[in-house]
Amino acid sequence: MVFCLIFITKYIKKYFIIYIMKIIKFLRDVVIAPHGVTDISHSIQTNNQFNLLSINSLFIGCTNFIINEYRLDNMINIIFLISSIIHFRHDMPNFKINNVDIPRYILCSLMFISIYFLNHELIIYYMLFQHVPNHFKFNEKFIKNDLNLNIFLLSFVSIICLYFDYNLGMEFNNIDNLNLLKSLIISHVIYQEKFVLNNGS
């Protein structure tokens, strides 16, 4: 009886973990990956389409024709890390030690260091439960102003991500694909910082 319970417990635990990982993978494709597409709606409402297109074209072009061509992978990694710290600082709380404000850049850097040493997958949970909700909160006004377009864009990109992930089995182990993905994220960060979150926080 005891051995049966042990076996059943291990079986349940194994497949529970597998099920949870499948859910996380799904949420990564339909929540995390497409959230930056709200930049399109924002750019239309604020007449910044050219700026959005220019930023994305510049970074994707430089990544494809310079960084990937000449294997300057460390360069984009550094830019990606710095831009992530700058962007994610908005998610950090106000924190004081002896009435001295700790800069959010430092708090964000400490978070990245912790994730690096503890578990890289923690960034997925951070994105799901902290960053993406904050993104929609910060962009709430512009999302509501053109809700139909935003629903369409988010749904469309989600479907594309799911298709690539599940049907084509596309993995970003390829360094060139990874670099292009980073360039898209960097472009999103620059647009958000310049045209959405430019309140000096």
At 159, the pLDDT band (50, 70, 90 cuts) reads very high
At 98 the three-state DSSP class reads coil
Nearest Cα neighbor of 104 from 115, 116, 114, 94 is 94
Nearest Cα neighbor of 188 from 140, 145, 139 is 139
What percent of the chain has a predicted confidence (pLDDT) above 70?
A: 88
Contacts of 159 (CB under 8 A, 6+ apart): none
CB 139 within 8 A of CB 43: no
Nearest Cα neighbor of 32 from 116, 157, 147 is 157
CB 128 within 8 A of CB 31: yes
Q: Is 184 exposed, middle or buried (0-12, 13-18, 19+ CB in 10 A)?
A: middle
At 66, the pLDDT band (50, 70, 90 cuts) reads very high
Round to whole Å and give the CA distance between 97 and 124. Answer: 29
**201 found inside a domain:** no
pLDDT at 75 over 80: yes
Sign, CA torsion 15/19/24/29: positive
At 46, the pLDDT band (50, 70, 90 cuts) reads very high
| Whole-prediction pTM | 0.86
DSSP 93: P
**187 found inside a domain:** yes
Nearest Cα neighbor of 34 from 125, 135, 111 is 135
- Among 4-8, 23-27, 61-65, 175-179, which stretch is predicted with the lowest mean pLDDT? 4-8
At 164, the pLDDT band (50, 70, 90 cuts) reads confident
Contacts of 173 (CB under 8 A, 6+ apart): none
Domain that holds residue 81: 2-196
Give the tens place of pLDDT for each residue, 168-192: 665 556 889 899 999 999 999 999 9
| pLDDT of the residue at 200 | 42
Give the tens place of pLDDT for each residue, 85-102: 999 999 998 888 888 888
| pLDDT of the residue at 165 | 81
| pLDDT of the residue at 37 | 97
DSSP string, 148-188: HHHHHHHHHHHHHHHIIIIIS---TTSHHHHHHHHHHHHHH
pLDDT at 136 over 80: yes
> Which whole number is the average pLDDT over 92-119?
90
- What is the tally of structural domains in the chain? 1
Mean pLDDT of the chain: 88
Round to whole Å and give the CA distance between 171 and 177. Answer: 9
**132 found inside a domain:** yes
**68 found inside a domain:** yes
13 or 94: which carries more pLDDT confidence?
94
> Which whole number is the average pLDDT over 32-39?
96
pLDDT at 196 over 50: yes
